[in-house]
Structure 1
């Protein structure tokens, strides 16, 4: 039931805690399957932090490694109630287990036509008044500012002081007072799946309360990495930013300012930790250089 690649990745990332959770995972799966009267109907799949078990009646059981990033996933699904996202049928918060509407494994990342418009339209539909009890993005503003000051001082980087000051201004002017809107929190093409009830549905939300324009920058950052070899990538991404803003009914300048902060943070993060797709070597250098270039472009 537990894919070997998922088990290895979990242990590599979480160590002994991950190994202990994997030992309990078959019993957790058996329990929730029995309690929700679910009969497995296909091979177990997995993402980075959880397994997905297809069951009868076009549903899936998802069980995630217990960590704060998944604390509010069920709350987001419940609030949307199928509006632009897969529908939640059952939840077991203590086990980080969900019974969800089934979608197809094809992601928007694998789609070639109207990708930006499809994502932007879905993003617009997911914006609803936030329910009570969800974490506010604004609560991270002090941490963002502290990390920017520290990284700008400690790391070797080519970003001018004006770019750092502009990122800090975004934190102060946009980050500390954000709308009471439910946002996905990890909105990128791999978290948008083909479906039957609607052409595309969102999965794997973090469930934050904050500025939808901030949420849009995650999509643009992923697009940047995916199109790294494209001719005149900066021009292409600026066009996609404008296109996303129009289709999502957002202010493009607000997205651009959030994107500048996001790229400065990403440039520093890459220098300290690497990225999931590139931990070292020439590929990491290319990603960091792209973050630097985008940070400067979106600061103009």
Structure 2
């Protein structure tokens, strides 16, 4: 398989190596090509091949190998920049939530999170430290066309600095847990996919849930939902409620910076607008 975004052909070497008889392209993103494949024995799997921009996803593969299916899909095999993954199904938690509601969705989040954070063997060395993960927040400055971002990003930076300097319960983290990265439909039920593969304070691993799911802004900025998630996650992770909230706000700032790094103007970035709205509401719940 080549690196070009226009090419979606699986190499003969990969076909032979993993006995792939047929394939269906699921996604062609700037970082990877993703297929659902059928193997010679009739079983299905997912083939993911990273492009040069996707090299940052390799720690996620190390996380999958370390977790060995406990809360995550299994990494079946890996060769260079290609990985053969367990096929966990097509139903995302975002779609499930639309049908069954927030409370039912959070039961699943809690179960997956508990399994992700269960004790394991020694952490793999390839994981990305949390302070490096936050780099964009500290190097991105909004330009003069984005005055609304200056103070909120400064506030998020201050929180992140304090949090990163006082981490505890440091462990391997999924790093990108949200409603589109929890899926079901396979034999093993709900599983997390697409980890970032971080190592750091356990409280960070739920930060992205607060800004999700997609197209749910009224819920994302609902103070009662924010409070409910804070209580739920602090109980599961046995850490202070305010710490959960602080990481959620810091992550929202980081997410805005990623959007700006992608070159999307702030006025055109739905993600940046949603994360800014979350920061504005969430910070009113902080105990300063």
Q: Under a length normalisation based on structure 1, what TM-score does the superposition of the two structures give?
A: 0.75
Q: Does 1:108 align with 2:99?
A: no
- Over residues 162-221 of structure 1, what are the superposed CA-to-partner deviations in whole Å (9 max), with x where a residue is unaligned? x83574144234356454411112111111110433220111111111122112111211
CA RMSD of aligned residues (A): 3.5
Say whether the 8 Å CA contact 1:234–1:297 is kept in structure 2. Answer: no
Partners in 1 of 2:123 and 2:95 — Cα distance? 31
2:25 aligns to what? 44
The gaps in structure 2 that reach 5 residues or longer are none
**Structure 1 residues 176, 251: CA separation in 2 closer, same or farther (over 3 Å shift)?**
closer
For residues 65-84 of structure 1, the aligned pairs below 5 Å read 65-66=51-52, 67-84=54-71
2:147 aligns to what? 156
The gaps in structure 1 that reach 5 residues or longer are 3-16
Say whether the 8 Å CA contact 1:121–1:247 is kept in structure 2. Answer: no
Shift of residue 69, structure 1, vs aligned partner: 2.4
1:251 aligns to what? 240
Say whether the 8 Å CA contact 2:256–2:272 is kept in structure 1. Answer: no
Among 42, 49, 59, the residue aligned to 2:45: 59
Among 119, 123, 127, the residue aligned to 1:130: 123
- Over residues 253-300 of structure 1, what are the superposed CA-to-partner deviations in whole Å (9 max), with x where a residue is unaligned? 211111121233445665x46898x96459578526513423523434
Q: In the comparison of the two structures, how many residue pairs are matched? A: 273
Say whether the 8 Å CA contact 1:213–1:251 is kept in structure 2. Answer: no
Partners in 2 of 1:175 and 1:226 — Cα distance? 34
Say whether the 8 Å CA contact 2:202–2:237 is kept in structure 1. Answer: no
Which one has the bigger strand percentage? 2
Partners in 2 of 1:196 and 1:145 — Cα distance? 37
Partners in 2 of 1:79 and 1:146 — Cα distance? 30
Partners in 1 of 2:115 and 2:253 — Cα distance? 29
Partners in 2 of 1:207 and 1:261 — Cα distance? 19
1:264 aligns to what? 253
Among 17, 20, 29, the residue aligned to 1:35: 17
Q: Under a length normalisation based on structure 2, what TM-score does the superposition of the two structures give?
A: 0.78
